[in-house]
Amino acid sequence: MRVSIIYFSGTGNTKSIAIGYGRALEKMGHDVSISSIEKVSTLEEHDVLIIGGPIYAGNMPHELIHWVRKNIPRATGNKSAIVFSTSAGLENANGVKSIGKKLARRGYAIIDLTVFEMPRNFYVEKYDPTPETIQKQQFKDAAQKIINSVGHIHNTTPRIVRDSVFIIDMLADLFSIMAKSMGKNFAIDETCLSCGTCERDCPKQNISFKDKKYHNRCILCTRCIHNCPVNAISYKGKKIESYRVHNEIYFDEELLQ
């Protein structure tokens, strides 16, 4: 089967899961392509679509929802889809329902909706980083969850997304508005090397590192904080510990036969 994997990832957790899906499916003999929505605006020919993103305020990011609405046409033929999300907690992680419903309306058979509990990367105020021992276990658990998910790839009975997503989509829109204002609380200090990493990496081109200025397009992905090589970016005057993905997803080969 031809499988197209599309994702948005702020700091790398979702990208890790997307790559994990790709590795598992390639080992199973499928033809796989993997793309970030930051790089593509069209889908490759596929039989199965896998799409995923992080959870921001209970839903997928506004940018991913908008990308799906704009760039995924009505399915022709028998196409199926898997939707996944990554979240620091499983409670209120409703984004898979939002994207799943939109794909179902476009004619896709939804064969799996799954949420991966991954290390926290948004702890600029009241939250704490995920301890390293728990991070390792989360990546180990993710491997098994991916295996379970790809096991649905030949399903002929689709899942029905019954819940309304109107309210959570409104909340995603509201959060995107709030994020623009909240993003003004980021600041670049005098330890900045002027390497330009934050400016290049920002998915919204929201940072001018020469002026050390944040504009009004922030989505609070916190990629800038975590990718800064010298931790020169603070939020409300507070420096936080950088999070970088350094664990990998490993599969038991026998489980993929």
Segment 153-169, tens digit of pLDDT: 998 788 888 889 999 99
- Cβ burial of 158 (10 Å; 0-12, 13-18, 19+) is middle
Q: Which residues contact 238 (CB under 8 A, 6 or more apart)?
A: 124
Question: Which pTM was predicted?
Answer: 0.95
Q: 256 falls in which pLDDT band (50, 70, 90)?
A: low
Q: What stretch of H or E contains 31? A: strand 31-36
Cβ neighbour number for residue 88 with a 10 Å cutoff: 19
pLDDT tens figures, 119-153: 999 887 778 899 999 999 999 999 999 999 999 99
Q: Which pLDDT score is estimated for 7?
A: 99
Q: Which pLDDT score is estimated for 253?
A: 66
Q: Which pLDDT score is estimated for 257?
A: 60
pLDDT tens figures, 184-222: 999 999 999 999 999 999 999 999 988 889 999 999 999
Q: Which pLDDT score is estimated for 248?
A: 85
Beta bridge partners of 50: 5, 82
For residue 58, pLDDT over 90 is answered with: yes
Q: Which residues contact 27 (CB under 8 A, 6 or more apart)?
A: 251, 253, 256
Domains of the chain: 2-163 (3.40.50.360), 169-235 (3.30.70.20)
Percentage of the chain lying above the pLDDT 70 cut: 98
Instruction: Spell out the alpha helix ranges (H) of the chain.
Output: 13-27, 62-71, 95-105, 132-150, 166-182, 197-201, 223-227
Q: Which pLDDT score is estimated for 255?
A: 61
Q: Which residues contact 132 (CB under 8 A, 6 or more apart)?
A: none
